[in-house]
Amino acid sequence: MSTDQQGPGAPESAEPRALRVGLIGAGIQGSRTPAMHRAEGAAQGIALRYDLLDTDLMDPPGPAIGALLDRAEAEGYAGLNITFPYKKAVMAELDALSEGARRVGAVNTVVFRDGRRFGHNTDRWGFAEGLARGLPGAGMGCVLLLGAGGAGGAVAHALVGAGAERLLIADMSAEAAAALAASINAHDPGRAEVAPDLAAAAAQADGIVNATPMGMAKLPGAAIDLSLLDPRHWVADIVYFPLETALLAAARARGCRTLSGAGMAVFQAVRAFELFTGKTPDAARMRATFESMGA
């Protein structure tokens, strides 16, 4: 067990008054989120303890999210980040949801306050903020989204919130694409549609966003034929391991404006830090911590 593998059931901390927060998820040892929170807390003089609650390493592995939340709350945690596979399941354990979390149908940040549990989705805000800062003025007439899974849902709602007039959604699972389009259209009728033909969709799109796992170190390649990229497209990827995916490399070679997955990863943490501590973090400092952890 690693030294930061603390959490519900762990011995009392040497810093009893530290603000305790953490990340619950399966297989999270490589996450850069703890380092961003710890470094920002230290820079602001906040005694903050960020624990990795890796459910793969618990005995038995994969406990129910409700039991984990009960124990964390009883032990005085101020809040938790939540990741795979608990982002939807955790919603049943909360007292209130932010508008963003309700729309996306997933929670990645829980705040414990006054005996109540509040759920937020900072992935949605994180992608939107990264897009606004990294690709200012990006055309929003028509956007092609590749991937309608957990992260794709947050991205889709962020894109519509950022003004996408038409959102074309492609996924190897037709059901996933249709479900996400329906979720968007429930709030913004007529904005989203399933895109069964990638060539036709790319021809109409101003921008293309990858929210599939394609391009990750363990899944090399891209979810779209790279010859469909055109210099007029802006291209964003949310994969961040590696930051330079085949999609982004090809897009840059074609002269497209591009955005890496770092923005979403950093800004989801920026917003979560604010929710946990009530303090405004220095986003550039958190990004520097993220980047210091390797490409």
Residue 205 token pair:
């799109």
Q: Which is nearer to ligand NAD, 140 or 146 (CB)?
A: 146
Question: From the CB of 83, what's the least distance to ligand NAD, in Å?
Answer: 8
| Cα–Cα distance measured from residue 10 to residue 22, given in angstroms and rounded to the nearest whole number | 13
| Cα–Cα distance measured from residue 193 to residue 65, given in angstroms and rounded to the nearest whole number | 33
Q: Which is nearer to ligand NAD, 6 or 81 (CB)?
A: 81
Question: From the CB of 121, what's the least distance to ligand NAD, in Å?
Answer: 11
Residue 114 in 3-state DSSP?
A: coil
Question: From the CB of 211, what's the least distance to ligand NAD, in Å?
Answer: 6
Which of 19, 56, 54, 58 has the alpha carbon at shortest distance from 40? 19
CB 248 within 8 A of CB 237: yes
- As annotated, the active-site residues are 86
| Cα–Cα distance measured from residue 204 to residue 192, given in angstroms and rounded to the nearest whole number | 14
Question: From the CB of 68, what's the least distance to ligand NAD, in Å?
Answer: 19
Q: Which is nearer to ligand NAD, 38 or 71 (CB)?
A: 38
Q: Which is nearer to ligand NAD, 45 or 294 (CB)?
A: 294
What is the CB-side half-sphere exposure of residue 44 using CA atoms within 13 A?
21
Q: Which is nearer to ligand NAD, 8 or 100 (CB)?
A: 100
Element of type H or E holding 169? strand 166-170
CB 260 within 8 A of CB 295: no
The residue with its CB nearest to ligand NAD is: 149
- How remote is the C-alpha of 272 from its chain's centroid? 11
| Cα–Cα distance measured from residue 220 to residue 178, given in angstroms and rounded to the nearest whole number | 26
Q: Which is nearer to ligand NAD, 78 or 265 (CB)?
A: 265
Question: From the CB of 196, what's the least distance to ligand NAD, in Å?
Answer: 11
| Cα–Cα distance measured from residue 154 to residue 66, given in angstroms and rounded to the nearest whole number | 23
Q: Residues 174, 179, 182, 187: what is their CA dihedral angle, to the nearest 10 degrees?
A: -140
- How remote is the C-alpha of 106 from its chain's centroid? 10
Question: From the CB of 219, what's the least distance to ligand NAD, in Å?
Answer: 8
Residues that bind ligand NAD (CB under 6 A): 84, 123, 146-152, 170-173, 176, 211-214, 216, 223, 238-240, 261, 264-265, 268
